[in-house]
A = this chain, B = another copy of it.
Amino acid sequence: MPGTVRPGGRTARVREAVLHAAGDALAERGFAHLDLAEVARRAGVGKTTVYRRWGSVTGLLADLLEDMAEQSEPRIEVGSLLRELEANATLVRRTLTDPRQGALFKAVIAAATCDALAAEALHQFYAARVAEWAPCVVQAAERGEVPADTDPEQVVRAVSAPLYYQLLTTGTPLDQAAAERAARAAYDAARAGAFRTGR
């Protein structure tokens, strides 16, 4: 059935099925129980294919994070730094409160605390997400909304930090007020010069 073949063909379909199965398994049971044979079974793909292509649980996790970075929603441009940081915070909040995605992120963060390769893959995922959103701060600096020597990456990280910290260290639900507060605090601090590189 040619209509069901996505660009990339069989190889891309196998990757998609395996990464989806890996994400489900991680969200349900965590990294400690991730098993290549089980992922292959869930994905309906031969075990040998999975072992040959991904090699290890960590290799699979790294590819999953790369795919998540590629699939992530692009930055929203509205010409106002506060609105753009709010859009980013809302996106982070939506991801972390989604039952599957939230569990998946928790599992991957847990994996990164005890596995150096998982940590490296996670760092690359966040570096890609930060790089995607950093231009909103560069443009705001050009418009004079924040000091010219503001570190764009620090501002973007400041939006996500309180949301992840709340997720991991409190039982309080991540509501929209939390997202707006995170964006507002990063914005106010940036305007006051807290993220100036010369500081």
Question: Could you list which residues of chain A lie within 8 angstroms of chain B, going by C-beta atoms?
Answer: 30, 32, 106-107, 109-110, 112-114, 119-120, 122-123, 126-127, 154, 157-158, 160-162, 164-166, 168-171, 181, 184-189, 191-195, 199
CB < 8 Å neighbour of A191 from B161, B192, B195: B192
CB < 8 Å neighbour of A181 from B154, B164, B165: B154
**Closest approach, in angstroms, between the C-beta of A118 and any C-beta of chain B?**
11
9 further contact pairs, Cβ within 8 A, besides A30-B113, A123-B171: A109-B168, A123-B169, A161-B162, A161-B166, A164-B168, A181-B195, A181-B199, A184-B194, A189-B192
| Residues of B close to A187: CB separation below 8 A | 194
| Residues of B close to A193: CB separation below 8 A | 188
Asked if residues B154 and A165 are in contact (CB atoms below 8 Å), the reply is no
